[in-house]
Amino acid sequence: YVCLTKFSETPAPFGVAHLTIVLSTLFGGLIIPLVIVNTMYETVDIYGSAISSFLIVTCILNVQYVSAELDDPFGSDPNDLELESLMEGTTM
């Protein structure tokens, strides 16, 4: 239990979190759409490249949001771990 609380109270470094958000936004919002439009423009119409670009960027940003939710598994959210039931299971 002490190790769990130590893990839950140690924050992630701000620089790592900020760099991850900036790079995923830059990469997903600017670089991927430009690369897809440049490579798919000759073979597929503009709508196909826009749809594939949107899907790829959405997947990258969803991974970002899921990792932010998994960053703090101890709390009062519905999908967080229940420390009380874990504690009861280890002591009995």
DSSP state letters, 12-64:
PPHHHHHHHHHHHHHIIIIIHHHHHHHHHTTTS-HHHHHHHHHHHHHHHHHHH
CB distance 73 to 80 below 8 Å: yes
For the stretch 42-85, pLDDT in tens is 777 778 777 888 888 888 888 877 877 777 777 777 777 777 77
The pair of structure tokens assigned to 5 is 């609380």
What's the pLDDT band for 92 if we cut at 50, 70, 90? low
CB distance 33 to 27 below 8 Å: no
Residue 19's pLDDT is what?
81
